[in-house]
Amino acid sequence: MPDTARIFTDIIELVKTLDPANTRKWFDDLVVMRFAHGLLEIGCPDEVTAQFLNDNCRGAFTKAAQSATGHLVTVKFGTAHAQIAPSTAPRPEWAVKLHPDYSFENFVVGPANRLAHASCIAVSQAPGVTYNPLFLYGSVGLGKTHLLHATCHETQKKFHGASVRFLSCEQFVNAFISAIEKGNLPEFQSHCRTVDMLVIDDVQFLREREHSQEEFFHTFNALYNNRKQIVLTADCAPAELPSLEERLISRFKWGLVARLDAPSYETRVAIVQKKAHLRGLEIPEPVAEYIAHKVQANIRELEGALTIIYATAKTIGEEVSLDLAKRAIGAEVDLHKNITISEIIDAVTDYYDVRLTDLQSKKRSQSITLPRQICMFLARSLTRHSLEEIGGHLGGRDHTTVLHACSKIKELQKNDPQTNAQLAELTKTITQS
């Protein structure tokens, strides 16, 4: 067994270099459950972490295991001790998987999010009782989705077997439409209406979707009348949700409505430190302060800055320092400057050595498709242009094509370290030009 232990330590070290973006400090706590006949079974503390590893890290672990042993190895993740009883209703495939990073423990509380945080805790301690529905709102990247995951984690921990269903509003709408098409509406309805807690993220997505609003209205009533908890988020207050039916808006206001504001400087510093800690990185205080100073509005960008700094340090083989941080994210970087689609297209065509006319053409070879999709993704994340406008710049493609491209690149960003690095580099070029 000492041999297995040593190999496993090597594997974990290799994974850290192969896939730094997905590396977490708790990887050190993983254990080997079984290692025989080319099968490596890794034990995780709970179902959520096992799921996270299966979805995001299997490739890196497999590669690492193969180079550590010199053999083909199949990697599996499981729970070392199955402590959490599975919830009564199985999760349909269209529901959100909980993310282990998004816990209350990993959420930094400050004046800007205190009420939202406290109300989520209250709901997870007594679902359906205190605040029903709970409605969180605020602009993008302020922690709404994080709080929803944390609420689900906590509720499941406290009430073993409670059935908690977490959906993005888009998933709700798509599952509803597909249930109609396939003629299994009752099944969909029972998935949504028989749970103890229904959590729906980004309900602004219901705008203009009348049939889905109708369905949602009935789901809401069914749950509410049975004293089941409902938690919702949106990017604006209920009253400002345009074109949403009045009766739906008034229901949103029945319980507690909590707003999230942009966090203060002190909170941002604490968040950067927390994120670094989660990945097992040592971050010098001046670097954390520098990032917090540079990035003000969207917390997601704090993480991006952290990633760029550590990736740069690694590429050039230097320790992370304030000086390096300044070089990496640029003394004059302004993450809010007005980046144009043309700047993005210039950077991408340059980087991949393709022509704009190719990006705008109907060509579908991989060497053209990838840069095209990366343009769409970057335009979506770095500018405020609509999907239609972005598609317009790239050969008049419609909004579904752009959406598809964005989700594909997002997926690659998570699972493919090479694309992830290319995106980081491109982002840097674009934001600093």
Tell me the one-letter amino acid at 355: R
Tokens 């070879």 found at = 365
Comparison of 138 and 255: residue with beta carbon closer to Mg ion: 138
Which does residue 113 touch among ligand ADP, Mg ion, none (CB within 5 to 8 A, set by kind)? ligand ADP
118 vs 287: CA distance, rounded Å: 30
Of the pair 141, 417, the CB lying nearest ligand ADP is at 141
* Segment (H or E) for 13: helix 2-18
Minimum distance of Mg ion from residue 102's CB (angstroms): 10
Distance CA 147, CA 105 (A): 11
* Residue closer to ligand ADP, measured from CB, 73 or 150: 150
Q: Using CB under 5 A, which of the segments 137-145, 155-163, 220-228, 257-265 binds Mg ion?
A: 137-145
- Which of Mg ion, ligand ADP, none interacts with 143 (beta carbon under 5 to 8 A by kind)? ligand ADP
At position 351, the amino acid (one-letter code) is: Y
SS3 279: coil
Q: If we measure between CA atoms, which residue out of 256, 338, 295 comes closest to residue 141?
A: 295
CA distance 136 to 309: 32
| Contact (Cβ atoms closer than 8 angstroms) between residue 314 and residue 292 | no
CA 200 – CA 40 distance, rounded (Å): 37
Q: In the complex, what is the shortest distance from the CB of residue 233 to Mg ion, in angstroms, rounded to a whole number?
A: 7
Q: How far is the CB of 171 from Mg ion (least distance, A)?
A: 13
Select the span of 37-45, 108-116, 141-149, 188-196 touching Mg ion (CB under 5 A).
Answer: 141-149
Q: Footprint of ligand ADP on this chain (CB under 6 A)?
A: 102, 106-108, 113, 138, 140-146, 271, 274, 299-300, 303
Give, as one character, the DSSP assignment of residue 227.
T
State in angstroms the smallest separation of the CB of 136 from ligand ADP: 8
Residue 41 near residue 35 (C-beta atoms within 8 A)? yes
Amino acid at residue number 260: L
401 binds Mg ion (CB under 5 A): no
Whichever of 200 and 256 has its CB closer to Mg ion, that residue is 200
Please count the other Cβ atoms lying within 10 Å of the Cβ belonging to residue 263.
24
Question: CB 86 → Mg ion: shortest distance, Å?
Answer: 26
Q: Give yes or no for residue 145 binding Mg ion (CB under 5 A).
A: yes
Q: Which stretch binds Mg ion (CB under 5 A): 79-87, 136-144, 287-295, 366-374?
A: 136-144
Asked if residue 413 binds Mg ion (CB under 5 A), the reply is no
Q: Which residue number, 31 or 236, has a Cβ lying nearer to ligand ADP?
A: 236
- 404 makes contact, choosing from ligand ADP, Mg ion, none, with CB < 5 to 8 Å by partner type, with none
In the complex, minimum distance from the CB of residue 24 to Mg ion, in angstroms, rounded to a whole number: 21
Report the residue number, 271 or 426, with the smaller CB distance to ligand ADP.
271
d(CA 147, CA 135) in angstroms, rounded, equals: 12
Chain position carrying tokens 């090479």: 418
Query: CA nearest 430: which of 337, 309, 303?
Result: 337
Task: State which residue has the least CB distance to Mg ion.
Answer: 145
Copy the structure tokens of residue 398.
């419609």
